[in-house]
Structure 1
């Protein structure tokens, strides 16, 4: 649980997603639940869209902490969520400015929702409450809270990558971004690479100045931008994987199982992954193992054009690969685009010989850490990890690949499939230590402790 010694007030957490019923195990939602269970406080998230959105909060649960939702109209859901958040900020922050869909009115919807959330917080926040904002859906909330006169400690954690100084110029509101960041006391990013990008953007802002101790100052406010790589509930996930029932996949004896688990998204590099597997299959020698690659990619955000395109591309690639390489008793690629239960996924991680986590851009990618936690320590599988996943900064014992280099990627697949047990164990031991030591509880404590202690030091400097 988070260290509460420096926090006399409540913890108020804001996230787009909030569980309406039971809190699911694992992931960000579970992490927030654990933090609030220890600290007490309030969790605010979006309600389901309705024809009309009013101000204020609607309580949906209470116990060791309270849960409440803010209203969201159907029009705002389209403009704020599907529009500005997921068709502008998401592709931009994932280094795909070519996919931006800038529509008139979407930013105004985003601003309206951020102001509504800020007003709701302003009405319930005590002077000592700690406010922790999650992700890109609420970049303007802290600025709106400061405009109301709130002096609370406010932190932002961004779960996705941070745009580089070149890509960010595609954002119509780029001039406002430094002010959005400066309204927080601590801006938490996943990697040092992200921190470097944010610092470069601020260096181009005439009102921002970096101090000698690494803090930033802007318009009379002092704030910091730091890396806090998120973890998982490693112990809990390992236990889930160990007791998960075995899934019968009807593989040939001793056939290696390659596994990919991703939300269907253009940032995940799924087409590149399929192409590398295709090249690997084309170089197999007689008598080589006949691996099966199981890719699970549940559909998401189907209303966004870019997601429809990636789904069609994957389906074409899967058909082409199986048509070229399948035999009467062997299907090399199995592509599943429906939701699979988390317990089943945990069992598949434990059974897999190789996991492919090869995004083109990713804030962290917790699949890599879940795979490691799920392994049998005596006979672990191999993690193939993209250089572009945030996890690559920590997980250097994985087999690191460039997903754009199809030939080298295919060679990495062959290497992983053939890797001897001693090397697999050596790599796994190093990865496991990292995943279990820097878990979700470490992440929560580290961020909240820094935010709490930073506030006191900054107050003396303002």
Structure 2
């Protein structure tokens, strides 16, 4: 079996275990099965660029860490990745901040990834590149003579082709993607959007690329379903979870867990909560909302602005509706362990997952997997999350429609047991049939040709 080479922007945290769900679980399992190497940025920022990688062997997997200079981080990561590609793919071209200097650094760092990988590569290795930070990596490798099979997985949405053209030099970036053998996206819509973008740019592409017959497919990422479900059952007995259960008492908990990001629809969600409390007085002191929002990328205008707005909205809502013994919204800006989150999901009557745009959203799948099948909670899910294409038992909402989300929460809180069980069973069957291991196995099988 060919060795697997994984390349991503960041390496996973080594020696601390891998969080249940998400990219690291699937890739660690695939690497251990085949043996291989994971190349990524160490997270360290140096004064000047430094060539070379630090290698660490754990079993049959080698982790190769690259350091980046402050200038490289500014252009490659904060510039093109987070201030151009991220807002563009999440349908926010108004936040796009493009400079030629940043694009030069983005391409240069991708070239550095290629250079470092070149010294570690064997002729029969299979290379799997992950996400928008590294879109042009395959082209950089081909320019250096690499003929190995190379696949790319795009974890975030791919926007409509007219929107993608808002980025200067969009055709150049699209042309670089044809150096991959397989490109994977989360949903059929994402795949159609990419094909449309390639078709629209075809005259430019044909003049600058050599066709490889690139395959574009849909590969919805998932979670370690059984592992997360078991974690949630065990978490019921954690002292902290028992304490929270007693503190909430007879109140029903509605939970949201999101990074602090403008794509997550947090201000809209808080407006929906306010609408619910305005129009359904019977829910006062009956329900509590827990919003866990770890801080995201600081120092970038769009992120700083959303942090302030969400905090102010939560504060005003509590000031308007709170009482001496009831705080309607608990808004927490910190990360929690997967075990504690699994317990909180299981404790919650409703899971709120209402992003304005999301590639997949694994929180939705984790919430479903964490539920007690005999007394499951209800998932309220945005139609613009990739997970909506799979989780047919959720209450699907338009996150821009405050009344729609508010009504769905009220329906979820009052949903009869039989309907909750039926909806949960349908979604759980999907997650059990398509865990994260199936996602990685399917992609790698197609990449092998």
- Identify the TM-score tier after normalising by the shorter chain: over 0.9
Cα deviation, 1:277-328, whole Å, max 9, x if unaligned, reads 1000011144776210000001011121111100000011101111111122
**Matches of 2:13 and 2:95, distance apart in 1:** 32
- 1:107 — aligned with what? 103
- 2:230 — aligned with what? 239
Give unpaired runs (5+ residues) of structure 1.
1-7, 211-216, 454-462
- 1:428 — aligned with what? 424
By how many angstroms is 1:21 displaced?
2.2
- 1:15 — aligned with what? 8
- Is residue 143–residue 180 contact of structure 1 (8 Å, CA) maintained in 2? yes
**Matches of 2:372 and 2:67, distance apart in 1:** 45
**Matches of 2:178 and 2:201, distance apart in 1:** 11
Once the two structures are superposed, the pairs formed by residues 23-42 of structure 1 within 5 Å of their partners are 23-26=17-20, 27-42=22-37
Once the two structures are superposed, the pairs formed by residues 386-397 of structure 1 within 5 Å of their partners are 386-397=382-393
- 1:333 — aligned with what? 329
**Matches of 1:49 and 1:394, distance apart in 2:** 39
Helix, strand or coil: the match of 1:124?
A: coil
Cα deviation, 1:182-201, whole Å, max 9, x if unaligned, reads 01000000000100100111
Residue 199 in structure 1 maps to residue 232 in structure 2? no
Query: How has the CA–CA distance of structure 1 residues 31 and 252 changed in structure 2, closer, same or farther, with 3 Å as cutoff?
Result: closer
Once the two structures are superposed, the pairs formed by residues 331-370 of structure 1 within 5 Å of their partners are 331-370=327-366
**Matches of 1:429 and 1:286, distance apart in 2:** 30
By how many angstroms is 1:143 displaced?
0.4
Cα deviation, 1:78-128, whole Å, max 9, x if unaligned, reads 211111111111111111111112234111111111001111122221221
**Matches of 1:202 and 1:82, distance apart in 2:** 26
* Equivalent residue pairs, number: 440
**Matches of 1:426 and 1:44, distance apart in 2:** 43
Cα deviation, 1:423-458, whole Å, max 9, x if unaligned, reads 0000000010111111110001000001102xxxxx
Equivalent residue for 1:445, pick from 423, 441, 444: 441
- 1:296 — aligned with what? 292
Helix, strand or coil: the match of 1:282?
A: helix
Once the two structures are superposed, the pairs formed by residues 42-61 of structure 1 within 5 Å of their partners are 42-47=37-42, 48-61=44-57
By how many angstroms is 1:165 displaced?
1.2
- Is residue 202–residue 208 contact of structure 1 (8 Å, CA) maintained in 2? no
Tell me the TM-score normalised to structure 2 length.
Answer: 0.95
| Greater percentage in helix | 2
Residue 152 in structure 1 maps to residue 148 in structure 2? yes
List 4+ stretches of structure 1 deviating above 6 A: none
Helix, strand or coil: the match of 1:150?
A: coil
**Matches of 2:283 and 2:154, distance apart in 1:** 48
**Matches of 1:68 and 1:241, distance apart in 2:** 33
**Matches of 2:318 and 2:257, distance apart in 1:** 19
Give unpaired runs (5+ residues) of structure 2.
none
- Is residue 381–residue 395 contact of structure 2 (8 Å, CA) maintained in 1? yes
Helix, strand or coil: the match of 2:297?
A: coil
- 1:140 — aligned with what? 136
By how many angstroms is 1:67 displaced?
0.7
- Is residue 2–residue 34 contact of structure 2 (8 Å, CA) maintained in 1? no
Cα deviation, 1:367-426, whole Å, max 9, x if unaligned, reads 000011111110000000000000001112100000101111111110000001000000
Equivalent residue for 1:415, pick from 406, 411, 417: 411
Once the two structures are superposed, the pairs formed by residues 227-266 of structure 1 within 5 Å of their partners are 227-244=218-235, 245=238, 246-249=241-244, 251=247, 253-266=249-262
Equivalent residue for 2:210, pick from 211, 219, 225: 219
